[in-house]
Amino acid sequence: MWVKEKLAGYAAMAADYLRDRFGRRLREAGTPDSLTAPMEYSLLAGGKRLRPALCLAFAEMHGTSPKTVLPFAAAFELIHTYSLIHDDLPAMDDDDLRRGRPSCHKAYGEAQAILAGDALLTEAFGVMAETAPAVPEKAVLAALAEAAFAAGSAGMVGGQMLDMDYTGRDGVTLAQVAAMQAKKTGALIRAACVCGAVLAQAAPEDVDRAARYGAALGAAFQIADDILDVTGDEKTLGKPVGSDQAMGKNTFPSLAGLDKSREMALAEAEAAVAAVSGHDGEAARFLRELARYVVTRAA
Amino acid sequence: MWVKEKLAGYAAMAADYLRDRFGRRLREAGTPDSLTAPMEYSLLAGGKRLRPALCLAFAEMHGTSPKTVLPFAAAFELIHTYSLIHDDLPAMDDDDLRRGRPSCHKAYGEAQAILAGDALLTEAFGVMAETAPAVPEKAVLAALAEAAFAAGSAGMVGGQMLDMDYTGRDGVTLAQVAAMQAKKTGALIRAACVCGAVLAQAAPEDVDRAARYGAALGAAFQIADDILDVTGDEKTLGKPVGSDQAMGKNTFPSLAGLDKSREMALAEAEAAVAAVSGHDGEAARFLRELARYVVTRAA
């Protein structure tokens, strides 16, 4: 399947960067081994590298080689990985498993996991800054501000806080869950798309299209994920089916039912496709097929 | 005392920024109230605002108005505050008190404290980016990379990890403790000085001097702090005297004795003074007097 191969190609670029250049960066800087170990344990545990792939594809679609924006794209994986480590902590979702193996705090201890997450988040911004001067400083700084906003208190962290506020609570509406997910998962996915376009110095209307694509893809992705938590198999999920329900989480299927959730996921995927319909080339084709592929997993 | 008044002046600028502009920024962005509350609880709990003051003073000494670099200077307080919140967590130093009142997780819960810390760290980089275009993008990005390095895996977070590795362990040397403290406390203090100079587009040799000043001041400050943990009063410390010893921490006094520690603190303070001895004006005078003031607390 072409889209899976293309995704794997982008993912391999990001994974190479994280393993080789980022690994060397940590060692040359003088990071204690006791910190490098839990950072790399979680960072190199696999995963689809979706966020870097989106950043690379948007840059490529707007005429900038993926190689040029690679540090910035990989930084999204650093942020994503830190968020998984902290979300798994006993005080948060208390997950013992992540991607089919012990979560970071289970493997290394809680203090180590907190610090590994803190370090990954901090390094993300240092890595972003490395994209200059290959990309002009002004564009790098604009993209960095976008990423910080998406990852921060009104984005991903704020979404995680709302998720905890809503868990186990009655009367939470579908609109509230959608808004929470748009922050918790959607904001960083959207920012990966926007930053790819910003780093490629795309026209403002193309940056807007990247934002629309990212927001729709993020929603499609999250709804599909919620559906898979109900219908999926444990091998794909890397954790027991029904974990969200067991925790009393309010999700799309729990509030709207499976059929309605599938409809919503498809509609979001088509909105994403429409946002990049005016572009030619492999990267644009990848982005369109990716949006549809994301929801077929849960169809 | 002139130096205390001058420090209070810089601190008030930073505090105003954090309370007013940063507070408005959070609210306008759509940060959930349940996240804003623990963030502001810790951020507005007082403190000397030493790191912002250093950044402001170095910018001023090199001809850039403190106002111009204020967001960046305040960002150091966001980073410092996040580090205190995470250090106090049960899995880390397990401190119930901070600045004489309940620590963040005691007041709001552990998940909220983890997320408040994560959000403060993330917002710090967004706030730094706001310093452009009043400061040219290239200088902002260089300063941001410096701050990320200092706060990251080879700096503050790495130092905290080493501190935990060393706690309760026999055979830790004074050199190891000095190197650990240079990361844990020193790196961010040093970066605040360096970034002030970088944002003011100071000459490379002046940036080097800022680095030497910051490294020496950071060491003086930390040794004085270790001494105060042994000899201070609880009102000043905001926590019980002897906390470090009770936790089995290896400190300067525990390894070198009080007299030798005092000597070392004074020598570091004089090294800091020497690093900025070639400069005239109020900001330079402030930096020299500050270095001596920091150690008189523990004399």
For A226-270, the pLDDT digits (tens) are 999 888 765 555 566 777 777 778 889 989 999 999 999 999 999
pLDDT value of position B196: 98
* Over residues B155-183, mean pLDDT: 94
B141 or A244: which leads in pLDDT: B141
* Over residues A56-71, mean pLDDT: 98
CA A11 – CA A9 distance, rounded (Å): 5
**pLDDT classification of B234: cutoffs 50, 70, 90:** low
Q: Are B66 and B74 in contact (CB under 8 A)?
A: no
pLDDT value of position B215: 98
User: Residue B83's closest chain A neighbor by CA?
Assistant: A118
CA dihedral of B288, B290, B291, B294, whole degrees rounded to 10: 160
pLDDT value of position A242: 73
pLDDT value of position A23: 97
N residues, chain A: 299
B62-111 confidence digits (pLDDT tens) = 999 999 999 999 999 999 999 999 999 999 999 999 988 999 999 999 99
A103-137 confidence digits (pLDDT tens) = 999 999 999 999 999 999 999 999 999 999 999 99
Q: Are A253 and A227 in contact (CB under 8 A)?
A: yes
Per the prediction, chain B carries an average pLDDT of 94
Contact A34 B153 (CB under 8 A): no
Smallest CA–CA distance, residue B126 to chain A, in Å, is: 5
Smallest CA-to-CA distance from B57 within B172, B193, B256 is with: B193
Cβ-Cβ contacts under 8 Å between A and B: the total is 161
What residues in B contact A39, CB-CB < 8 Å?
A: 153
Burial code of B44-79, b = ≥16 C-beta within 10 A, e = fewer? Answer: ebebebbbbbbbbbbbbbbebebebbbbbbbbbbbb
Return the residue in B161, B162, B201 with the most chain A beta carbons within 10 A, the one to mutate for interface testing: B161
Phi-psi bin for B46: left (phi > 0), alpha (psi -120 to 50), beta? left
- Model ipTM value: 0.96
Span of A111-115, A255-259, A271-275, B189-193 with lowest mean pLDDT: A255-259
pLDDT value of position A188: 98
Contact A110 B129 (CB under 8 A): no
pLDDT value of position A238: 59
Q: Which of B39, B152, B165 sits opposite A34 (nearest CB)?
A: B165
pLDDT value of position B299: 66
Smallest CA-to-CA distance from A249 within A269, A225, A271 is with: A225
Q: Which of A111, A114, A144 sits opposite B125 (nearest CB)?
A: A144
Per the prediction, chain A carries an average pLDDT of 94
Domains of chain A: 2-296 (1.10.600.10)
A204-233 confidence digits (pLDDT tens) = 999 999 999 999 999 999 999 999 988 876
pLDDT value of position B233: 62
CA dihedral of A29, B227, B214, B100, whole degrees rounded to 10: 90
Q: Are A163 and A184 in contact (CB under 8 A)?
A: yes
Contact B130 A123 (CB under 8 A): no
Residue B56, pLDDT > 60, answer: yes
pLDDT value of position A276: 97
What percent of chain A has pLDDT above 70? 97
Smallest CA–CA distance, residue B113 to chain A, in Å, is: 10
* Over residues A259-283, mean pLDDT: 96
**Cis peptide upstream of residue B133 (ω within 30 degrees of 0):** yes
CA B202 – CA A7 distance, rounded (Å): 45
Instruction: Say how many CA atoms lie within 13 Å of B217 toward its Cβ.
Output: 32
Contact B129 A151 (CB under 8 A): no
Q: Which pTM does this prediction carry?
A: 0.96
pLDDT value of position A299: 67
Contact B122 A152 (CB under 8 A): yes
User: Residue B154's closest chain A neighbor by CA?
Assistant: A31
CA A259 – CA A265 distance, rounded (Å): 10
